[in-house]
Amino acid sequence: MQLDSALYSQHPSVSHIGNDTQQLLEEASASILYTAKRPEVVMERGTGMYIWDTDGKPYLDFIGGWAVNALGHSPAVLRDALASQSAQLVHASPGYYNKPMIQFAKLLTELSGYDRAFFASSGSEANESAIKLARKYGSIHLDGAYEIVTTIGSFHGRTLATMSATGKPQWMQLFAPKVPGFHHVPFNDIEAMRQAVSDRTCAIMIEPVQGEGGVHPADAEYIKELRKLCDERSILLVFDEVQTGIGRTGKLFAFEHYGIRPDIVTLAKGIGAGFPLSAMLTKEELNLFEAGEQGGTYTGQPLAMAVGCAVLGEVVRHNLPSQAEEIGAYIREELHSIAGRFGLSGIRGMGLLIGFDLPRPIGSELAAAALANGLLINAPSPSIIRLMPPLIVTKEDVSVMLERLTISLEQVIGG
């Protein structure tokens, strides 16, 4: 899509807030429970790589709805799937099978090589489900072992159990008492993991690339050793692929990079391409829940299932994982070309999950400058920038991104 990037490069930080937007912002600050620091813009519509605010200003979206809008904004396949499914059946109760539920489970198990799928609406729920299944396995096969070892810097969600699983140092004291049974060890440290595993352990849970933690990929050797350790101890290896799954890292699933297969994989974000949808995949031996032990009002929700089929179909049909691999490598190359000038370092990532380090803790300033310049980027921590654009991003989009990023860096860092 061709847009006039010059408009924002000339007067990058001038951003006029119209009366309607001003009113909306006042209403927002009066009525929405405060949980996030949000900039003074209200998003209104989107198409492809761009999203527009209520003042009509377009933004090139390299946050991609937080690694969610895999097919870009308002893709036709998603709209069509919602339109036709909503004319047919919106909701049937979780107590019944429905047709898209069966179709999506079949598609997802065939593409992943797993035997069983459970569906929910968010990544946290999929991870809760994995935690429950691991505990169930421990209760049946490991004499009641229920502890799960996760890694420092990991992010697994915002429910109480998934917050307890999360290895975010700032969260350790939050909302006490924590759900017991989680241990956190340094990431990419196999010795620490070996020492943390005991007779009380039922599983190891890990993100193949720590996303919220700042885009840190797991080493190939580490993952191989984790698989070996789990096999030796007969405990489960759980991959949280909420952020890395569905093509994001250059393969349909990130575990494919490592030549191993986890026992449980969780998926969300990209799988619904913007519609709330998550899944947990596992093998036949772990088909262990009794009726009623796991579920949810919206499990297998027909609209979500139809969207899942459409999104996955599109991702596979257009080979978006290999496109993510190619464009991701191109973005990292291009970032290297401006790195010296601004002191950027540690350019890293897999596919279209990319991170780099800033020379100073100016991440939020830089993200704010980029916003003013018509570019959405994310600072997961004060000195790190993360890019996670839709999988449909093109080289042309990348040059607009670089142009706006360069201007923003000039404003914030100088150089």
Ligand X SMILES: *Cc1c(COP(=O)(O)O)cnc(C)c1O
Instruction: State which residue, 47 or 381, has the beta carbon closest to ligand X.
Output: 381
Calculate helix-pair angle for 395-412, 320-342, nearest 10 degrees.
30
Query: What's the token pair of residue 207?
Result: 């993100």
Report the nearest approach of ligand X to the CB of residue 400 (Å).
26
Choose the stretch contacting ligand X; rule: CB under 6 A; options: 75-83, 117-125, 341-349, 377-385.
117-125
Choose the stretch contacting ligand X; rule: CB under 6 A; options: 3-11, 173-181, 239-247, 339-347.
239-247
Is residue 150 close enough to count as binding ligand X by CB under 6 A? no
Q: How far apart are CA 401 and CA 127, in angstroms?
A: 33
Report the nearest approach of ligand X to the CB of residue 367 (Å).
18
Closest by Cα among 340, 339, 404, 327 to 372: 404
Choose the stretch contacting ligand X; rule: CB under 6 A; options: 235-243, 351-359, 362-370, 406-414.
235-243
Instruction: State which residue, 183 or 404, has the beta carbon closest to ligand X.
Output: 183
Q: How far is CA 69 from CA 185, 199, 279, in A?
A: 32, 41, 17
Q: Which of 53, 207, 397, 403 binds ligand X (CB under 6 A)?
A: 207
Q: How far apart are CA 404 and CA 12, in angstroms?
A: 9
Instruction: State which residue, 211 or 300, has the beta carbon closest to ligand X.
Output: 211
Choose the stretch contacting ligand X; rule: CB under 6 A; options: 70-78, 89-97, 151-159, 405-413.
151-159
Q: Which of 146, 155, 187, 275 binds ligand X (CB under 6 A)?
A: 155
Q: How far apart are CA 261 and CA 223, in angstroms?
A: 10
Q: How far is CA 412 from CA 39, 133, 214, 367, in A?
A: 17, 47, 21, 10
What φ, ψ does residue 346 adopt, rounded to 5°?
Answer: 60, 40
Q: In the block, which residue shows the tokens 């596919």? A: 351
Closest by Cα among 315, 317, 378 to 70: 315
Q: Which of 48, 157, 274, 302 binds ligand X (CB under 6 A)?
A: 157
Instruction: State which residue, 271 or 412, has the beta carbon closest to ligand X.
Output: 271
Binding site for ligand X (CB under 6 A): 122-124, 127, 155-157, 207, 211-212, 240, 242-243, 268-269
